[in-house]
Amino acid sequence: MTVDDRGRGYKEAVPSSSPRRITLEEVAKVAGVSRATASRVVNGVPSVDETIREAVQRAIADTGYLPNLAARSLVTRRADAVALVLPEEDRMLGDPFFGRVVRGVMTVIGRSGVHLVLMTTGATTRSQVVSDLRRGRLDGVILIHTDPFDPLPRLLVESRFPVVLSSRPTQPLPITYVDVNQTEGAALAARHLRALGRHHVATIAGPQHTSAGQDRLTGFRDALADPEMAWVEGDFTRESGTAGMAALLSRHPLLDGVFAASDLMAQGALAVLRARGRRVPRDVAVVGFDDSSAALACEPPLTTVRQPVEDMAAEMARLLLRQIGNPETPTSTAIFEPTLILRDST
């Protein structure tokens, strides 16, 4: 307690004990690079060598460095925010695919100092995305499974905004996209069922207005080389797998092999087979597509075509950041290879 000249007591101010702010110079020293190089990494310059970038990012994590985003935005003229536009909320919450996409995107975006804004499709979202890009509130967009009739991809391309699509566009469009080799994945399923000696094989295809639905049906049909192959169309949901399997069994009671173009549809198909007394895999072998958590939740566990969703999503994020860093970056395509994961359903 201190006494003033009138005899009144008061407490002296105690110096703040808040932690000292780590400087960019300290990050550079820990990473073993110059301050200029560290600054280029923090500001997302795409031309930095990947080994150096990783060293600086480790130094940032180790030191707890927090960039001054306001100052950085003044220098880069960027919002340091990108949008990940997902399908309508009901579908997104029911399909494990989209959670894997978010995880994959965050492995890149999360360490870049850029904010990720999650949005769902719709007319309101479309106008908001365009408005935010024009006003400088967003730097770019990752579009997941966009409806082929949605004008947003073409609008973004024509406006020269940075954008990456999650699959091959159904209509010709000069847009960067990332996809799995869909036709080869479906062909893996067809060849596997044939190798098992299954002769009455059918497929529950994906929606034919999407590139994934079209390519998986084409790949399966071509590899099977059976002009009489039976198929029904689903929409990648469990419910459509249930309806599709019931329809196939009513038309083709001797069915002994099924390829469902998504794990969720396969899950629905397995429930119908079980209810009809058809043993899996003894009576009917079943193959899915995705290798999502739904494949392991199936009874029996599902043989499926794996697409590396997390790796694909991370590549989408990298390609978008590259466009943002260099608006003259040409459009590109990244195609990942699928693998067949064998489990108890075949």
Nearest residue to 179 (alpha-carbon basis) of 1, 40, 337 = 337
Residue 272 domain-assigned (yes or no): yes
Q: Out of 36-40, 212-216, 318-322, 342-346, which region has the weakest mean confidence (pLDDT)?
A: 36-40
Q: Specify whether 94 is located in the same domain as 155.
A: yes
Regarding whether 221 and 279 lie in a shared domain, the answer is yes
The answer to whether residue 15 scores a pLDDT higher than 50 is: no
Residue 270 or 55, more confident: 270
- Higher-confidence position of 51 and 286: 286
Tokens for 75, please give them: 């220098």
Q: Could you tell me if 196 and 214 lie in one domain?
A: yes
Give the per-residue pLDDT at 233.
Answer: 98
Residue 97: predicted pLDDT? 87
CATH number at residue 227: 3.40.50.2300
Higher pLDDT, 228 or 222: 222
Whose tokens are 């010709």? That residue is 172
**For residue 8, what are the contacts with CB-CB under 8 A and spacing of at least 6?**
none
Residue 343 domain flag: no
Q: How confident is the model at residue 77 (pLDDT cuts 50, 70, 90)?
A: low
Q: Where are the alpha helices (DSSP H) in 82-210?
A: 89-94, 96-109, 123-134, 152-158, 182-195
Which of 74, 90, 118 is at the close of a domain?
A: 74
What predicted TM-score, i.e. pTM, was given to this entire model?
0.77
Q: Is residue 19 very low, low, confident or very high in pLDDT (cuts 50, 70, 90)?
A: low
Give the Å distances, CA to CA, from 33 to 21, 53, 54: 20, 10, 12
Residue 7 lies in a domain: no
Q: Do 204 and 252 fall within a single domain?
A: yes
Residues 302 and 186 placed together within one structural domain of the fold: yes
Cα angle at 292 between 120 and 280, to 5 degrees? 135
Boundary-marking domain end, from 10, 41, 74: 74
Does the pLDDT of residue 14 top 70, yes or no?
no
Tokens (6 digits) for 165: 């699509």
pLDDT at 16: 44
Average pLDDT over residues 111-139: 85
Q: Which residue has the tokens 């990648």?
A: 236
- The pLDDT value recorded for residue 13 is 45
User: Does 162 share its domain with 246?
Assistant: no
How many other CB atoms are found less than 10 A from the CB of residue 73? 14
What CATH number does residue 31 fall under?
A: 1.10.260.40
Are 204 and 151 contained in the same domain? no
Q: How confident is the model at residue 67 (pLDDT cuts 50, 70, 90)?
A: low
pLDDT at 65: 80
Both tokens assigned to 209: 């207005």
Residue 12, domain member (yes or no): no
pLDDT higher than 90, residue 266: yes
Distance between CA atoms of residues 133 and 139, nearest Å: 6
Q: Indicate if 194 and 298 belong to the same structural domain.
A: yes
Same domain membership, residue 147 and residue 231: no
> Are 134 and 150 part of one and the same domain?
yes
Q: How many structural domains are present in the chain?
A: 3
Q: Is the pLDDT of residue 30 over 80?
A: yes
Both structure tokens of 300: 């029996």
Report yes or no on 130 lying in a domain.
Answer: yes
The mean pLDDT of 30-57, rounded to a whole number, is: 84
Q: Is 194 in the same domain as 292?
A: yes
Tell me what the pLDDT averaged over the chain comes to. Answer: 88
Q: Which domain holds residue 319?
A: 81-180+311-335
Residues 173, 319: one domain? yes
Mean pLDDT, residues 78-98: 78
- Is residue 219 pLDDT above 50, yes or no? yes
Domain assignment present for 137: yes
Which pLDDT does position 111 carry in this prediction?
Answer: 80
Task: Examine the pLDDT at 12 and tell me if it is beyond 60.
Answer: no
Query: Is residue 39 in a domain?
Result: yes
Of 91-100, 143-152, 233-242, minimum mean pLDDT range:
91-100
